[in-house]
Amino acid sequence: MSPATRSKKQPAPIFVPYDPNTAGVPVVIAPSLLSSDFAWAARELARCRRAGARWLHVDIMDGHFVPNITFGPPVLKKWVAAEPDLFYDTHLMIEHPMQYAERFVEAGSGLITIHVETVGRPRRELRALRRLGVKAGVVIKPRTPVREIQSLLDEVDLVLVMTVEPGFGGQALIPSTLNKVRELDLIRRRESLPFRLQVDGGINAETAEMAVAAGADVLVAGNAVFANGDIAGNLRALRQALARIKPT
């Protein structure tokens, strides 16, 4: 089932490609549901929406590619039913992502990202994701160099640079990973490519500024959004931090 056949109440997800001509693109803060209170999932989703979040990040872990297990398509389907107007960015941290991709699309994913470390023919897999009717992205871990995905950059809607080792929330950002963000931003400017640049791991009011200054335009934030239960206040603090960044 394609996104167009889902609930009629759900508008087409707003995914604005990077504009290599103007470098003008809105910075998105995507709350990571891994850090939310699962006991009150519907409430957490509604509070994100009321606080202005429109893009949510969903971490799928299998206990093999990463040493943790999270949730599967049935859970995502319930979340989408509760808040169908939000954009669900699904990060597959699993060993065989294409075995499950269609089920996550059917559950309501608007974007699926797969790790280059888990697929043998990534260009083919990215095209297969597009045929399912979703945006397609590629992910690299902190130790994976940009050259491993450079030939794919004309095929992707988004590149996710992990700024921590995948598998657990609450880690501190690894500063050296921002060098890869800078490299990717330089490539997309030089080659006029429209992919968006996402970072995930250790994002807070301080590191958000660093990540955006490096070229990131989608920030996945977990503890920084859900800590202490003040989702609206935490998102406000992140936006205020981004407002302090001076244009280059």
pLDDT at 88 over 60: yes
For residue 69, which amino acid is it?
A: I
- Over the stretch 92-107, which tens digit does the pLDDT of each residue have? 999 999 999 999 999 9
Half-sphere exposure of 219 (CA within 13 A, CB side): 32
The span from the CA of 157 to the CA of 40, in Å, is: 32
**Which residues carry out catalysis?**
59, 200
For 48-87, what is each residue's pLDDT tens digit? Answer: 999 999 999 999 999 889 988 999 999 999 999 999 999 9
Would you state the pLDDT for residue 197?
A: 98
Tokens of 84: 């169908």
Strands (E), 6-110: 28-31, 55-61, 87-93
d(CA 46, CA 158): 26
Residues 160 and 113: beta-carbon distance below 8 Å: yes
User: What confidence score (pLDDT) does residue 4 get?
Assistant: 45
Q: Is pTM, for the whole model, over 0.85? A: yes
- Count of CB atoms situated within 10 Å of the CB of 98: 18
CA quadruple 227, 15, 113, 161: dihedral sign: negative
Ramachandran angles phi, psi of 136, nearest 5°: -125, 135
Listed in order, strand segments (DSSP E) in 9-115 are 28-31, 55-61, 87-93, 111-115
- In terms of Cα–Cα distance, which of 43, 42, 75, 46 is closest to 58? 75
Cβ-based neighbours of 69, under 8 Å, separated by 6 or more: 61, 62, 63
3-state helix, strand, coil in the chain (%, to 5): 40, 20, 40
170 pLDDT band (50/70/90 cuts)? confident
Give the residue among 102, 30, 32, 97 at the shortest CA–CA distance from 66: 97
CATH class of 18-243: alpha beta
pLDDT digits 0-9 by tens, 45-56: 999 999 999 999
- How far is Cα 6 from Cα 11, in angstroms, rounded to an integer? 9
